Amino acid sequence: MCNDKKQIIADLSNISFSYDSKPILQDISLTIRSGERIGIVGESGCGKSTFLKILAGLLPPSSGTINILGDSTPSDIRKHVSIVMQSAMLLPMTIYENITLGHDYSEDSVRKVLEQVNLLDWVDSLPEGINTYLGDRADELSGGQAQRLAIARAMCKDAPLLLLDEPTASLDAFTAASVMASLEACTEGQNITIVHVTHQVEYLKDYDRILRMEGGKLYV
């Protein structure tokens, strides 16, 4: 099916960004449609992560416009977006609180995503289950467990646009493949739009588009 007939999720026009007068992104325009999977590759320092932060509503562009489902201010954009970063940030809270981050998600919905990312058996084996406190215990988690919790957090938000910023870069090859399999299980059959920044092109083989960023510019 032609993607041109699908709803436009995000529309970026002439986006540029500078940090302390140093240009990071230059004149980027991109239209993202519902259900698309877009990969972005490029060398370290080329601006990929900065671009993703603008798309996530974490940074305002220095110039240009961004519109996601009718919203253009960063605070409103964040309502439509979930993001998984390279390193999972786990807080001194319970597992449930680490996933919900203050949102009113039911325990059933949290358990569902934990099952999808292959963590439910481990969580149920803990003394307090989903209410186990991740204080010092967070240091005991493997990198794969931490990233699966980050994916569960992102999926529980049920946002239409999922952003992935090198989510497996710090993991060994076996764990990375397992985490990506968990991500596929979460998103399979759902109309979730994905923008995935990575050096690992092998994870983009089934994507609709692979774009290249170089010197702060985006190329098809």
Domain ranges of the chain: 3-219
The residue among 210, 159, 188 whose CA lies nearest residue 38 is: 210
pLDDT of residue 136: 57
Decide if 41 contacts 211 (C-beta within 8 A): yes
Mean pLDDT of 62-66: 96
What residues are paired with 66 via a beta bridge? 12
Distance CA 34, CA 5 (A): 9
Half-sphere exposure of 197 (CA within 13 A, CB side): 25
Which amino acid, 113?
Answer: V
* Mean per-residue pLDDT of the chain: 89
Q: Which fold has domain 3-219?
A: Rossmann fold (3.40.50)
pLDDT of residue 85: 87
Of the segments 88-92, 175-179, 205-209, which one has the largest average pLDDT value? Answer: 205-209
**77: alpha, beta or left? (left if phi > 0; alpha if psi -120 to 50):** alpha
More confident of the two residues 142 and 24: 24
pLDDT of residue 1: 43
Distance CA 23, CA 139 (A): 37
Separation in Å, CA 91 to CA 27, 99, 175? 37, 10, 22
Tens of pLDDT, residue by residue over 100-154, are: 998 889 999 999 999 988 899 999 999 899 999 987 555 678 888 888 899 999 9
Decide if 138 contacts 195 (C-beta within 8 A): no
More confident of the two residues 206 and 15: 15
The torsion angles phi and psi of 117, rounded to 5 degrees, stand at -100, 15
Tens of pLDDT, residue by residue over 153-166, are: 999 988 999 999 98
The torsion angles phi and psi of 163, rounded to 5 degrees, stand at -110, 135
